[in-house]
A and B are shown apart, each in its own frame.
Chain A
Amino acid sequence: MNTNKVYVLGGAQTDFERNWSKEGKNVIALLREVISDGCYDASLTYAQIEQLNKENRIGFFVGNFIAELYANQGHLGALLTEVHPAFYGVPSARYEAACASGSVALDAAITKIRSGDYDVAIVVGWEMMKTVSSKVGGDYLGRAAYYDKEGKGIDFPFPKLFGRLADAYIDRYGEEDRYMSALASIAEINYENAKRNPNAQTRKWFMSREQANMRDTETNMLVGGKLAVSDCSQVTDGAAMVVLCSEKYKEESGLKGPTPVVKGFGHRVAPMQFSKKLEESRDMDYILPWTRQTVVDAYCRAGVTVNDIDFFETHDCFTSSEYAAISAFGITEPGKEYEAVEDGVIAFDGTKPINPSGGLIGCGHPVGASGVRMFLDLYKQIAHKAGDYQLIKADTGCMLNIGGSATTNYVFVMGRE
């Protein structure tokens, strides 16, 4: 396998608090904004893009789940030509794996640079979700599960699927109160972290552990089994973008100093249906064994262990998914995740902080953008560009992005050279 290094030059995200439909703006406005901000951050001009394209050294990779339904738009790679004429002729395509769409686009981009085909890759993940009511949107999202059996005719199918993950934990390990209380703390930590993030959807919202623990009330309704609104990330509009490059480009452009580099990836797909996941893992150590395996693969490719990871960005679409990620990352053994929550290990100032950005619960979850947003947040931390949410020690970071009910699993490890 070709092992060219893959560097991260920079990027940008939109403010996930914004509702682009309310602003009266379309997909092109969203893309135009994130691409121009991201190129600016990465010091890449449209003139340079044109030159790189003449030499066939640049590609564009788009992550999006389901714009056909939310925005009546397909052919999303080609759509970039509407953003700027510099993209005429640039090879570009859309990549899809439900909520892990951003990661599959990143994977394709990384692969093209590692193989030496291109020297620069632009990756954009985006979703515009406020175009429809939450009920209609919930039904659209049901397509990330096996729609016919797990989505069709069910109101808000995903909270119910991740509610079943909570049930599976409680069935296997008991200690329901301790488990549910840990979930409330996870919500609180993500909201708290989001307060420092100027692009987070919930940065002005109120949440406390008490409120998160008061489930089944008017302001915290149950939405799926034991999970309540406070256990959910919320959909929003948003886009995130990063620019990757090869060692050759890095040298050509005279970049000095350490540049964050992609160290490893993992990509595994579990059975589509949630009941089949549980059936498969009944006698295994992990309830989500393929999620764990994806982490192991990425650590192995990066030549690291959990001890080498300074911080994590994980896919807390629900508190129960972040809870499962704690053991998948190897921070605790499975069944003991609550210890890392109770002892403050995963807190912002803990030894293994998870989601210093606020995660999906704090930042909001524009599904096709989330994978790229996490990757961008790894970059910001490692490059010391995270502003108010900068961690003190952030040399190596790891992200987990999942699609469906932990069906598609993607992990990236990023660090310094």
Chain B
Amino acid sequence: MNINTVTVLGANGTMGCNISGIFASFGNAKVYMVSRSMEKAEAAVAKAAQSVKAEAVESNLIPCDYSMLEKCVGESDLIFESVAETFDAKESIIAKIAPFIKKKTLIATGTSGLSITRLAEMLPEELRPYFFGMHFFNPPYSLTLCEIIPSLYTEHKVIEYIKCYAAQTLVRTVVEIRDDAAFLGNRIGFQFINEALQYAERYKDSGGIDYIDAILGQFTGRNMAPINTADFVGLDVSKAVVDNIYQNTDDYAHETFIFPEYCCRLVREGKLGRKTGQGLYKSIKREDGRRITYVYDIESGEYRDKMTYSFPFSIKMIEHLKNGEYKRAMDVLTSNHSTEAQICLSFLIKYVLYSITAAKLVSDSAHAADHVMAAGFGWAPPLSIIDALGGKYVFMKLAKERLDPALIAKINVEETMAGIPAASTYDFRRYFKGKK
């Protein structure tokens, strides 16, 4: 097998475009960028080259429209489908290309959560062994995660080959994931994000959205606070992800995937987040050019000024993190018993436990959870948080002491932690920022 020619379907979309850039650059493949119109395809070519910061790859990128499918698909070693995220849209494109696919051509879907096996069944039987999920994160040039998902029909050596190709040639962080709702990265990430959204409602009298974001800020091992992340990703997308997980999975954290009512309301009102100018937050440019950020007040349904919260625990943690004193920062977190510190610590503990649980359900190693969260979200990898908190024993003790007993009864900490690697392969230090 050799991947010299790739067809990307839906190449004018954000993901299709950026992924075309990855195949054309690191993969040095000729990429047919199939788009709705030639005009859109041509614009996508320039954007794809810019996304990998290399005009030289433009010579590898060929603009196409759907009238050229026969030639593109017939010539390709790999077909990458990146059309709209519905079974109907996928079915229609699969029906269009199926007649032109040579046997043994690799066929990948870029879906971020639809069932790979169900999609495979839309293909003629003889093509199913070569079909698999290949889930990139946006933007792929800086987020290197690539989840590879076989269907029930995928041939083992196809998966082995594509994993190797993605890791060695495309310089991706590769994990193989079983075909389950939202795969692994989004399942862990959106469990955290959605529970933060739920907590915002629960603590709406303390401030709600910006209050929870202040408790789970960059100093807790991420580049952006979780609710702000949902606003950035878009509430429509966030809803689709958590609804999919809620409907198709059933683990101890099931209830944390219920999308809160106030968020549904915002979606109905078209307040989807950054991309529509308002959502959970709203940013307005004043006449003097300065930006001010407002936040959605869950109780009143109005936007109000974002507050500057000052928690003794976070002030101290940030001070220690600034100086590179990670142990002292973690000691502050574990020894402070304020409501805010309790929420913060419990979120970190739950994040670790759920990551391990989900990784056990859909992958072969707890390390997979580290890879997806580091390379797909830029969050502190869960196993590295165990290291940061003082190791497995200290972590388990903390979990039992500090989580709600009802939750602990559901999780079974001993069982969850059994067989967990002695340490993460990631260094936690870079992830805990000396910032709010």
Contacts and interface: CB of A to CB of B under 8 A. Distances in A.
B214 interface: no
Interface string B423-434: 000010110011
B430 A15 contact: yes
A208 interface: yes
Interface string B15-48: 0000000000110100000000000000000000
* Most B CB within 10 A of own CB, among A22, A25, A206, A210: A206
Contacts of B318: 24
Given A15-B430, A24-B218, A210 B324 contact: no
A211 B54 contact: yes
Given A15-B430, A18-B430, A206 B321 contact: no
Contacts of B52: 206
B56 A211 contact: yes
Contacts of A301: none
B122 interface: no
A204 interface: yes
Given A204-B144, A206-B25, A219-B50, A24 B434 contact: yes
B53 interface: yes
A397 to B, nearest CB: 27
Contacts of A214: 55-56
Contacts of A29: 321-325, 434
Given A24-B322, A29-B324, A218 B55 contact: yes
B374 to A, nearest CB: 12
B28 A208 contact: yes
A210 B142 contact: no
A219 B53 contact: yes
B55 to A, nearest CB: 5
A115 to B, nearest CB: 34
Contacts of A206: 25-26, 52-54, 57, 141
A195 B172 CA distance: 11
A394 to B, nearest CB: 23
Nearest to A220: B55
Given A29-B323, A204-B142, A208-B25, A24 B433 contact: yes
Contact of A211 (B57, B429, B430, B434): B57
B54 A23 contact: no
Contacts of B56: 208, 210-211, 213-214
Interface in A27-47: 28-33
A24 B433 CA distance: 6
B171 interface: yes
A26 B322 contact: yes
Contacts of B433: 22-25
Interface in B397-436: 427, 429-430, 433-435
B144 A217 contact: no
Interface string A214-245: 10011110000000000000000000000000
Given A206-B26, A206-B53, A217-B55, A28 B429 contact: no
A206 B23 CA distance: 11
Contact of A25 (B25, B171, B321, B427): B321
B344 interface: no
A207 interface: yes
B55 A219 contact: yes
A217 B49 CA distance: 12
A372 B430 CA distance: 22
A229 to B, nearest CB: 9
Nearest to A208: B56
A26 B53 CA distance: 30
Interface residues of B, number: 30
A213 B56 CA distance: 9
Give the dominant DSSP class at A's interface: loop
Interface in B289-344: 318, 321-325
Nearest to A30: B324
Nearest to A217: B55
Nearest to B168: A195
Contacts of B321: 24-25, 29
A14 B243 CA distance: 41
Given A206-B25, A208-B28, A25 B434 contact: yes
B323 A208 contact: no
Contacts of B50: 218-219
B51 to A, nearest CB: 10
A207 B52 CA distance: 9
Interface string B251-281: 0000000000000000000000000000000
Interface in B116-148: 141-142, 144
A25 B141 CA distance: 25
Contacts of B28: 208
Contact of A33 (B49, B322, B429): B429
B124 to A, nearest CB: 36
Contacts of A203: 171
A64 to B, nearest CB: 17
Given A18-B430, A219-B50, A25 B57 contact: no
A297 to B, nearest CB: 39
A26 B321 CA distance: 9
A208 B28 CA distance: 9
Interface in A109-160: none
Contacts of B434: 23-26, 29
Contacts of A217: 55
A204 B53 CA distance: 12
Contacts of B144: 204
Nearest to B53: A219
B327 to A, nearest CB: 11
A29 B435 CA distance: 14
A24 B435 contact: yes
Contacts of A32: 323-325
A23 B430 contact: yes
A194 to B, nearest CB: 11
A29 B328 CA distance: 13
Nearest to A214: B56
Nearest to B22: A206
A32 B28 CA distance: 42
A388 to B, nearest CB: 12
A28 B328 CA distance: 15
B142 A26 contact: no
Contacts of B141: 204, 206
A412 B109 CA distance: 53
Contacts of A195: 171
A44 B324 CA distance: 20
17 contacts: A22-B433, A24-B322, A26-B322, A26-B323, A26-B434, A29-B321, A29-B323, A29-B325, A32-B325, A33-B324, A195-B171, A205-B53, A210-B59, A211-B54, A213-B56, A219-B54, A219-B55
Interface of B: 25-26, 28, 49-50, 52-57, 59, 141-142, 144, 171, 218-219, 318, 321-325, 427, 429-430, 433-435
Given A23-B435, A25-B322, A208-B28, 15 more contacts: A15-B430, A22-B433, A24-B322, A28-B324, A29-B324, A29-B434, A33-B324, A33-B429, A204-B141, A204-B171, A205-B53, A206-B25, A207-B54, A210-B59, A217-B55
Nearest 3 Cβ contacts at the A-B interface: A29-B324, A24-B434, A24-B435
